[in-house]
Amino acid sequence: MAQRTLSIPKNHTKTLKISPEFYDSLTNILEYGILIFGKKTATDFYKAVLKKVMFLPQMPDTHPKNRFIESTGKVYRNILVEKYAVLYSITARTIHVITIYHTAMNPEAIKRFAR
């Protein structure tokens, strides 16, 4: 019996789509962080979030599933950064970054982010 192999292109990644809501929320967090913690700390946090988001296409399943949103066809996951969570969904071809929220947010409010 001949051995069969599956060849996957090395550059095979999903498309990353980032919502305006994510950028708006992250900008608000940055502005608040500058007021409370100072420019350097807030900027470091901002950069850490963006770095993790931009790495998503390489390893989208690395982060934990969101336990408040149940859906068929999409998987919702969170990137945890300090006391914030970046909510994103995964479909067959796309990673959609939805928003960033404080982890103390009411679970009912989190459910409303599902699309």
Enumerate the domain spans of the chain.
15-111
**Pairing mode, strands 94-102 and 15-18:** parallel
pLDDT over threshold 90, residue 51: yes
pLDDT over threshold 80, residue 73: no
pTM over 0.75: yes
Can you give the pLDDT at residue 6?
Answer: 37
What value does the mean pLDDT take over residues 49-65?
94
pLDDT over threshold 50, residue 110: yes
Strand ranges inside the chain, DSSP E: 15-18, 75-81, 84-90, 94-102
Residue 12 pLDDT class (50, 70, 90 cuts): low
| φ and ψ at residue 73, rounded to 5 degrees | 90, -25
Place of tokens 């100072």: 38
Percentage of residues of the chain with pLDDT beyond 70: 89
CATH second-level architecture of 15-111?
A: 2-Layer Sandwich (3.30)
- Yes or no: say if 84 and 103 are a contact pair by the CB < 8 Å rule: yes
Residue 72 pLDDT class (50, 70, 90 cuts): confident
